[in-house]
Chains A and B, each alone.
Chain A
């Protein structure tokens, strides 16, 4: 995944005026179809997809492709994570321009902003390991209690202090924590340190499920501060993972490159 455009300060600033959705390719058949609707050479979903869309999710506002390079220019292949300044600047400017056309409802929007949840705890451990971020699990067997917890945590999660600093997933059953060390089946906001390869995790702290937003911020900041991100480089990570036998099986088949290899092409007449 791009580590240049999406780390640019102007792009990050502009992203606050967007709803940012990042999916894990090949992990959900329905989402695969959504992605293919925006970009799929030869009808095959590729490993990465990028585009900007209207608020109804139906219309592309820039050229869709494997990365922002398709829309804003830049480098493909070696050097992909050191994009030219002008390309990143163009992306930030384009997003600001789009935000002028679609300014959003602001405070007129009904309801409260939901937590930006990941799909499930297994995937969330992997994604947070990849992002080198802590994971916060909203855990309760009671759907009613989870809803109250979400409302309180949401007020904190979108604040300037915490926005983008952690990721979130709900859980309703203790069995979901089978790969998490030191978990005790008590309802609460469970802050987790993902393992290096995202196959395991370890509880950093559990904050009382009844905590209001005002009483969440302090303990949450303290718990997030205990997170220790992996210091491995990309290559070191891959090599160490291979040696350790860390393997990930995606939920649906990987179709990247099928078109280029000729598979899936229409037969020639």
Chain B
């Protein structure tokens, strides 16, 4: 775990240098689109373990004052 933390810290330190390069590079290949969400923890976690990709986890209530159909 400590090794992972050190490695991660090193990458964060280097981010500004990478990001400048990314900002100036053409972004023709980056299609904006929308985020593709897995809708269950079980399904998403299984896919993260299968692919060894990190996880972005979000949770929200699909209602406002009990009116559904809105985040």
Contacts and interface: CB of A to CB of B under 8 A. Distances in A.
Given A9-B30, A11-B35, A242-B67, 13 more contacts: A13-B32, A19-B53, A89-B19, A93-B15, A96-B22, A104-B51, A110-B50, A198-B62, A237-B69, A238-B67, A242-B65, A247-B66, A248-B68
Interface of A: 1-3, 6, 9-13, 15, 17-26, 28, 30-31, 34-35, 38, 47-57, 59, 61, 89, 93-105, 109-111, 113-114, 116-119, 123-124, 126-127, 129-131, 157-158, 160, 163-165, 167, 169, 194-199, 230, 234, 237-238, 241-242, 246-250, 254, 256
Contacts, number: 275
A250 B54 contact: no
A17 B1 contact: no
Contacts of A250: 61, 63
Contacts of B16: 93
B19 A93 contact: yes
Interface residues of B, number: 54
Most buried by B among A12, A20, A21, A164: A21
Given A19-B56, A53-B55, A101 B7 contact: yes
Interface in B24-71: 27, 30-41, 43-71
B10 to A, nearest CB: 9
A50 B57 contact: yes
A157 to B, nearest CB: 8
A21 B11 contact: no
Interface of B: 1, 4, 7-8, 11-12, 14-16, 18-19, 22, 27, 30-41, 43-71
B30 A6 contact: no
Contacts of A199: 68-69
Contacts of A55: 48-49, 51-55
B55 A54 contact: yes
12 contacts: A20-B37, A21-B55, A23-B39, A30-B41, A35-B59, A55-B53, A57-B49, A89-B19, A103-B52, A117-B43, A129-B69, A238-B64
Nearest to A68: B58
Nearest to B67: A241
Given A19-B44, A21-B45, A164-B33, A1 B58 contact: yes
Contacts of A50: 57-59
A164 B32 CA distance: 10
Contacts of A123: 39, 62
Contact of A126 (B1, B46, B52, B68): B68
A116 B37 contact: yes
B4 to A, nearest CB: 7
Contact of A129 (B1, B35, B41, B68): B68
B39 A102 contact: no
